[in-house]
Amino acid sequence: MAGLLSALRRLYLSLYNWTVFLGWFQVPRLALKTLSESGHQHVYNAVERPLLLAQSAAVLEIVHGLVGLVRSPVTATLPQIGSRLYLTWGILWSFPETRSHMLVCSLVISWSITEEALGFAPSWLLWLRYSTFILLYPTGITSEVGLIYIALPHMKNSEKYSIRMPNKWNFCFDYFYAAIVALGIYVPGSPHMYGYTLGQRKKALAKAKGE
């Protein structure tokens, strides 16, 4: 029974990894093609479908950690996936005014390259993934912060997702100020996550070398 469950676990994770990989594989290809042919203003429209698919599927990585399918700690996975979902749905999808900015190109390319490695990837691809992030993580974070900042005036003017008093719940929420809080979290959060990923790089490459 244990052997069957282990085989099903490996099969499920393989299917999941391949699905996400194929989604991310499309993103840089479409982004670079559109960038060269039509300009950065059209990159988001070209990559929207695979980007939404691949990034939304990452929610399952949190579930995998919670149920023990993978060893990745949820405390490390949740902030990274949460911030990316926020940028994907809460900024780019919610505020079309941000989609034509050049930062969208650096964002989706940084995200996609760091994600294009399967759990059973060959050692050279594993090395590439954990080495390119040294440059791509800062460019991705800079793009995230920049796009949130660009979206701020549109949040304030539209009052989208904001809840005003009075209402039957006696509760108010301002999406504009929530975004400012999110920007503030990036200040201590980004160096922490960068240091954590450096540690993961050291462990992953040492394990690959030992094999």
Cβ-based neighbours of 149, under 8 Å, separated by 6 or more: 183
Cβ(158)–Cβ(94) below 8 Å: no
Comparing CA positions, the residue from 173, 200, 180, 161 lying closest to residue 80 is 200
pLDDT of residue 118: 45
* Average pLDDT of span 81-105: 96
CA 26 – CA 188 distance, rounded (Å): 32
> What are the residue ranges of helices labelled H in the chain?
2-37, 43-57, 59-67, 74-85, 103-115, 123-158, 175-210
pLDDT of residue 38: 94
Comparing CA positions, the residue from 178, 186, 205, 175 lying closest to residue 79 is 186
Q: Which residue has the higher pLDDT, 81 or 210?
A: 81
Sign of CA dihedral 69, 73, 78, 84: negative
**Which residues participate in catalysis according to the annotation?**
137, 144
Tell me the pLDDT of the chain averaged across its residues.
Answer: 85
* Average pLDDT of span 149-176: 93
DSSP state of 98: G
- Tell me the residue type at 92: L
pLDDT of residue 205: 62
What phi and psi, each to the nearest 5 degrees, are found at residue 43? -65, -45
Cβ-based neighbours of 157, under 8 Å, separated by 6 or more: none
Comparing CA positions, the residue from 96, 89, 115, 86 lying closest to residue 42 is 96
pLDDT of residue 194: 75
What's this model's pTM, rounded to 2 decimal places?
Answer: 0.86
Residue 76 pLDDT exceeds 80: no
Q: Which residue has the higher pLDDT, 112 or 156?
A: 156
Residue 59 pLDDT exceeds 80: yes
The per-residue pLDDT for range 25-57, each reduced to its tens digit, is: 899 999 999 999 999 999 999 999 999 999 999
Comparing CA positions, the residue from 209, 196, 192 lying closest to residue 127 is 209
CA 111 – CA 80 distance, rounded (Å): 11
